[in-house]
Amino acid sequence: MADMLDWTSADSEKLDIATYEKRAEEMAGRLREETSAGRLPFLTMPYMAKLKQELADLKERFKGFDHMLLLGIGGSALGARALQKAFFPQQDQPDHTCPCLWIADNVDAYALEAYLAKLDPTKTIVVTVSKSGGTIETVGQYFILKEWAQKHLGDAWTKHMLLVTDEEKGFLRGEANKHGIHALPVPDHLGGRYSVLSAVGLIPAAFMGIDIDALVEGAREIVGPLTEDNLSGKVLEQHSAFQLAAWAAALQDKGFDEMIFFAYIPLWASFGDWFAQLWAESLGKEGKGSQPIPAIGVTDQHSVNQMFMDGIRNKACLFLTCPNLPAGPRFPADLPDQFDYVRNKDFGELIQAEALGTRMALSQNGVPLVEMRMGEDGPKQAGKLIALLGTATILTGWLMGINPLDQPAVELGKRLAKARMNADGLEEEKADLNNFLTADRDIREF
């Protein structure tokens, strides 16, 4: 079954999508310019042939390890976790032994102490991911794991380390050069939220045995037409990524400033968290953008769906489904009469019915909705989804008149945190911090 977008409930007739569709030639020209200049490796993937060879070599090395501990945050971890949950669910199931992927993506002393105490250092490889090599939440954990490995492994500690960072500069690149640690590059112009189909996400995928070729094949099916030297506005106008971008930009013009990502493929629910960073960090700029809201079907029908259905009419929805999910066990024939409607039916039919009911209810309650209907729930389809949403995000940003590839506001909080830790320099931030901490506070017990 083919992968489809169902636009029936998108409310396109209520939106001024035509204003953005008229800009297809302009957007095609910008894509031609950016790809030819090497500024969109998310689309062109010029690094892939070399990376696949490196991953093939690493897979042999990984056979000596039971555990991979991934140190990363934000885009350095969200894609890996989405792939893990989607295609390596056995780690969350009873009686699973190894291999195991552990992701340290927060400043969490409880979790870090558990890794140090319970992981076998002789069977663990630590992968540290930071493009800049200076992300303190990640590099700080690297310092601690480095000491742990040196203590338990002696001179062999470097064989249990893998770095993913800038090809030429930064602290982690210096560590690789100084100690001879194997390091793979994060290509220039590839921001973390767009990096899942690079070494950032594909190293843990290779460790788990996920079909990397299928992931990349799916992505290339989406981005291939957009990287042609002769890309025209006419071709772009028919591309699903541009159609989603025009829809998203037109929605914001009408006050739809929240975008729900409702996943009715349970194992793919973590793609909602990946999408939330992608959408928020790319488009939340200059007072513009729509707030992404990850939601899990069926779980969130019993929680936040009340707000979606009956709250402020400012929400649109990307609704993820797959009609070919496993059938599962059958409901028994001997059931109370009040449940006779599920007698002898497959358990898997229930999520399909729930998805249909929720999708119809959202549409009837004024939520513009595009259904992303995947023909299968395999790696190729995941690659297509990653490429489709990433490309649509870039095009949406350009249509909005903002840069979807930077994240300037995020840096302020990072500088203030460094000032709190008394990092060198940052005198202005330290003064602001002192003013904030010494101001009169309105504090009340509860």
Does residue 430 have a pLDDT over 90? no
- What is the spatial order of strands in the sheet that 315-321 belongs to? 4-6, 369-373, 315-321, 258-263, 291-296
Tell me what pLDDT residue 266 has: 97
**Annotated catalytic residue, options 137, 258, 281, 429:** 281
179 labelled catalytic: no
Query: Is the four-CA dihedral 144, 173, 215, 60 of positive or negative sign?
Result: negative
- Which of the following is catalytic: 118, 302, 427, 445? 302
pLDDT, residue 360, reads 97
pLDDT in tens, 75-104: 999 999 999 999 999 999 999 999 999 999
Give, for 382, the enclosing helix (H) or strand (E): helix 379-400
Give yes or no for residue 421 having a pLDDT over 90.
no
pLDDT at 419 over 80: no
- What integer is the mean pLDDT of 51-55? 97
Compute the distance between CA of residue 53 and CA of residue 36 in angstroms, rounded to an integer: 25
pLDDT at 426: 84
pLDDT in tens, 170-218: 999 999 999 999 999 999 999 999 999 999 999 999 999 999 999 999 9
State the Cα angle at 221 between 217 and 224, rounded to 5°. Answer: 115
Percent of the chain's residues with pLDDT above 90: 91
Q: Domains of the chain by range and CATH?
A: 4-34+219-400 (3.40.50.10490), 41-210 (3.40.50.10490)
Where does 131-170 have alpha helices with state H? 136-153
pLDDT in tens, 294-325: 999 999 999 999 999 999 999 999 999 999 99
275-286 per-position pLDDT tens digit: 999 999 999 999
Strand 183-185: give its sheet, edge to edge. 100-104, 67-71, 124-129, 161-165, 183-185
Amino acid at 319: F
pLDDT value at residue 418: 84
Active-site entry in 52, 159, 189, 414 = 414
Inter-axis angle of helices 379-400 and 271-283, nearest 10: 20
Query: What is the percentage of the chain residues whose pLDDT exceeds 70?
Result: 100
User: In one letter, which amino acid is 303?
Assistant: S
Annotation marks residue 414 as catalytic = yes
Enter the tokens of residue 34: 């950016």
pLDDT value at position 408? 81
